[in-house]
Structure 1
Amino acid sequence: MSKKIAVLGAGSWGTALAMVLDENGHDVRLWGNNVEQMSEINNDHCNARYLPEIQLSKSIKGFTDLKLAVEAVDVVLFVVPTKAMRSVAHQVASVLTSPAVIAHASKGLEQETHKRISEVLEEEIPEELRKAVVVLSGPSHAEEVAVKDITTITSASTNLAGAELIQSLFMNRYFRVYTNEDIIGVEMGAALKNIIAVGAGALHGLGYGDNAKAALMTRGLAEISRLGVAFGAQPLTFIGLSGVGDLIVTCTSVHSRNWRAGDLLGKGHNLQEVLDNMGMIVEGVSTTKAAYELAKQKNIEMPITEAIYDVLYNKTDVKEVVSHLMTRDGKAES
C-alpha cells in the first residue's frame, strides 16, 4: 500500500532514499531550505550539486515549506546533518498535526550532549506525535543507490512493528533491508565508523598499503564495540551490516567524504583546508570529539580515536600519531 513520506534533507543520501521510495510507489515529499535547489528538483528533476547526472522522477516533489511537507504523512524520515537534527526536529514538532513513524538515516552523535540521534528525536518530538522511532543504517553510498546498485542495510527500532514498516517501504530488487531491535548498537556503529574512515583515508594519503588499512579497520572495530557495549549495545550488532559492513564500505571507498577528508590530512593539508575543500559536512570530525569525550567519561581505552582526535584538534602530525600507535606496549588482542 502506498504511503505518504516526508524526506527531510535533500543532500545526496536524502535524495537517493527518496528515489527508492518513489520507485516503490510511495508519495514522496523531499524537503530542503534551499529555494533554488527545490526549484531544480521540481522543474528540472535533478539535484545537480549532490547527485550530478542523475535524473529524478517527476513524481518526487520538492518542498521548502516544512508544514506542507509533513502534512498528513505516514512517515517523517530525517536525513539532515547531526548538528541540524535537534533544530529541524523541533520545527517538525511544531507543525506535525497527526502521529507518524519518525525515522532517520543520519550518522553521528550530537556535540556537547553526546546523544544518539534517536534520543534527540525523542526529546524534541512529543510521544503523542510519534508511533515509533526507527534508524535506517548500513553500508551504503548514495551515488550507488541512485544508480540502483545492490545495497543492503538495517532498519532498527525498539518497536519492531516500526522497524518492519520501514523495511517494507524500502525493500525492492536492489535495496534489501533487515530489521534489528538494537537501536543503540546500530546508531553507535553508524556514528563511530566515520572516525575510523578518517584514519583509513589518512593512511592512504601517507602511502601505506592494505596491511595497515586492515589493521586499522580491525582494531577500529574493537574500539567501536567497546564504546557501544558500554552504552548498552549488543556485541553481535557490530559484526552486522551497521557495524563491520558500514565500516568496510566507508573505509575503502572514494565515495566516502570521511575517507576523502582523511586522505587530504595524510597528504599534509590542515583541517580547515580539508573542510573547505570538501564543501559538505564531514561527520567524522565532530564525532571524533564526541567519542573521545565519551571514552574519557567511561574510562574506555580507544587509542585510534585518541590519535585521530590529536590530529584533528591538537594539530599533531599524522606520521607522529601512527608511530605512537605502533610503538605502544604490547598486549593481548582480546
Structure 2
Amino acid sequence: MNTNPKIAVFGGGSWATAIVKMLSENLEQVGWYMRSQSAIDYIKENDHNPNYISSATFNVNQLYLSSDINEMVKYADILIFSIPSAFVKTELDKITEPFTSKIVFSAIKGIIPESGLIVGEHFNKILNVPIENIGVITGPCHAEEVAMERLSYLTIACKDEEKAKLVSKFISSHYIKTKISDDIIGAEYAAMLKNIYAIAAGIAHGLGYGDNFQAVLMSNSIREIKRFIKKVHRMKRNINNSAYLGDLLVTGYSVFSRNRMFGNMIGKGYTVKSAMMEMSMVAEGYYATKSAYLLNEKNNTKTPIIDAVYQILYENKNPKTIFKNLTELID
C-alpha cells in the first residue's frame, strides 16, 4: 500500500471544506473537486470558499482544484466523498475513469435515495469497489468548529486497519483527534440515523418541549439506533462510543446542526418545502427518514421516533398530534 498517497476531496459544501482544511495540515497537496467552476475561481482569488465556512482560509498553492470529476478521480489514490447524498448518484454517473482499485472513503452522513443504500454499501454493491477499499469518516464534528480549530474527535472506519490508520494520520492535527474502527457499516448507519433524531429534536423544540423532554428523546434515540443497527449489521460494538452516541448528541443539540434547524422550522409550522427553501444547506435527515422507514418495514424493528418523523415529513401529519402520541411511546 502506498504510504504517501494523493488524496482528493469531492464536494463543495461545509463538511468537504472542513476536510480539505484538515488534510491541508498534513499534505503538501490536496485535490479538491467542486462542480462549480465559479467557486473554484473565487477560492483561487480569495483563499476561501465563497459559500461555506468562509472563515477557513487556504494556501491555494496547496490545492489542486478542478471542476472535472474524472480529472480528480485519475489524480487521487484515496477519494473522500462529501457530497450531499441526494446528489451522489448524479455525480458518480459522470465518472468514466476506472476507480474500483481506488481507496474510497465516505464522509457523507446520509443514504443514497436511488439505491436506498448507505454510501459504503452503494460503492460496494452497485459500483463493485471491494469492501476492504471502502471506509467511513464519522463522529461528533461540526465543520464550523473545525474552521475555528476547536478540539474535535473523528472515527475512521475501514475493514482494512492499515488503510484506516493511513487516513487517520492525514486527518489528525492539534485540533483533530482520531480513532480507528472496523465497524464500517454500523458507523455509517449511525451517522445517517442520527440526522433523523436531530430533526425530531428540532421538531420538539419548535413545538415548545423543554430540555427535560429533549433528554428523554435523546435517551430513546440511542436505544433506537442500537436496535436498528443490530438488525442491519450484527457485530460487537459499544453504542456509547463517540461515533454513535457522541455524533447523535452533537447533532441533536448543537446550534450548528442543520437537521435540528430543519426540524425546528417544521415544529414551528413551516411546510417541508418552505423549510427547505429557507435553508441554504441540505438537511440529510429528510432523505434518510424515508429510506430508514422503508428499510425498517422489512426489518420490523421498534422505531417510534423514526415513524413519527416520517409521518410528519412524508404523510403531512400534524406535528403537535404526532408528538403527543410519541410521548406515550417513549420513556
TM superposition score normalised by structure 1: 0.92
8 Å contact from structure 1 (residues 3, 27) kept in 2: no
Q: Distance in 2 between matches of 1:71 and 1:131?
A: 20
The DSSP-based 3-state class of the residue aligned with 1:238 is coil
- The 1:219–1:44 alpha-carbon spacing in structure 2 relative to 1, beyond 3 Å, is same
- The 1:112–1:20 alpha-carbon spacing in structure 2 relative to 1, beyond 3 Å, is closer
Corresponding position of 1:48: 50
The DSSP-based 3-state class of the residue aligned with 1:30 is strand
Which amino acid in structure 1 is aligned with residue 211 of structure 2? D
Q: Distance in 2 between matches of 1:242 and 1:127?
A: 24
The DSSP-based 3-state class of the residue aligned with 2:204 is helix
- The 1:79–1:95 alpha-carbon spacing in structure 2 relative to 1, beyond 3 Å, is same
| Superposed counterparts of 1:162-173, under 5 Å | 162-173=163-174
Corresponding position of 2:225: 224
Aligned residues: 328
8 Å contact from structure 1 (residues 100, 131) kept in 2: no
Gaps of at least 5 residues in structure 2 are: none
Corresponding position of 1:83: 86
8 Å contact from structure 2 (residues 157, 183) kept in 1: yes
2:63 aligned to which of 51, 60, 64? 60
Corresponding position of 1:147: 148
RMSD: 2.0
Q: Distance in 2 between matches of 1:50 and 1:233?
A: 37
Gaps of at least 5 residues in structure 1 are: none
Corresponding position of 2:36: 34
Which amino acid in structure 2 is aligned with residue 137 of structure 1? T
8 Å contact from structure 2 (residues 158, 164) kept in 1: yes
The DSSP-based 3-state class of the residue aligned with 2:133 is strand
8 Å contact from structure 2 (residues 132, 159) kept in 1: no
TM superposition score normalised by structure 2: 0.93
Residue 95 of structure 1 deviates from its aligned partner by 1.5
- The 1:97–1:203 alpha-carbon spacing in structure 2 relative to 1, beyond 3 Å, is closer
- The 1:53–1:160 alpha-carbon spacing in structure 2 relative to 1, beyond 3 Å, is closer
Which amino acid in structure 2 is aligned with residue 51 of structure 1? I
Which 4+ stretches in 1 moved above 6 angstroms? none
Which amino acid in structure 2 is aligned with residue 83 of structure 1? A
Q: Distance in 2 between matches of 1:57 and 1:233?
A: 44
8 Å contact from structure 1 (residues 67, 96) kept in 2: no
Residue 2 of structure 1 deviates from its aligned partner by 4.9
**In the TM superposition, what whole-angstrom CA distance separates every residue of 1:281-321 from its partner, at most 9, and x where no partner exists?**
11101111111111111111111111111110111111111
Q: Distance in 1 between matches of 2:238 and 2:89?
A: 26
- The 1:72–1:50 alpha-carbon spacing in structure 2 relative to 1, beyond 3 Å, is closer
